[in-house]
Amino acid sequence: MKNKRLAEYVIQPLRQIRNVLRHLPYVGTGRFCPVCKKTSRKFGSAGIDKREGAKCMYCGAVERHRLIWLYFEKMTDLFDGRQKRMLHVAPEPNFEERLRK
């Protein structure tokens, strides 16, 4: 039990440092992710064929996720403040928490 607590105290700060270092090359402006509302200098590569500039490094959204999110915002009444029920089959992980709100 003691080793597990020690591991949590050591591993958690190391993960935070890793995440900061991983995001450093992307800090800046030039790209905007409508899903997480963050800006970055560039998007990362994604996919089997490694498409450059495809993935938001903060929330993991790729092109289709950003397009779907923009559709939700502009063409639907999902975010008008009224409570709704929605069936989203196989929701994207980066949408789940935001859609629950």
The yes-or-no verdict on residue 1 having pLDDT over 60 is no
Task: Give the distance between the most distant pair of CA atoms in the chain.
Answer: 53
Are 62 and 54 within 8 A, CB to CB?
yes
More confident residue, 97 or 63: 63
Helix (H, G, I), strand (E, B) or coil at 76: coil
- CA dihedral of residues 78, 83, 88, 90 (deg, nearest 10): 110
56 Cβ contact list (under 8 Å, min separation 6): 31, 33, 35, 36, 38, 40, 43, 44, 62, 66
Task: Provide the residue ranges of all domains of the chain, joining segments of one domain with +.
Answer: 26-100
In which band, very low, low, confident or very high, does the pLDDT at 6 lie, cut at 50, 70 and 90?
A: low
Q: What confidence tens digit (pLDDT) does each residue in 34-93 have?
A: 999 999 999 988 888 889 989 998 888 999 999 999 999 999 988 888 888 888 788 788
Model's pTM, two decimal places? 0.72
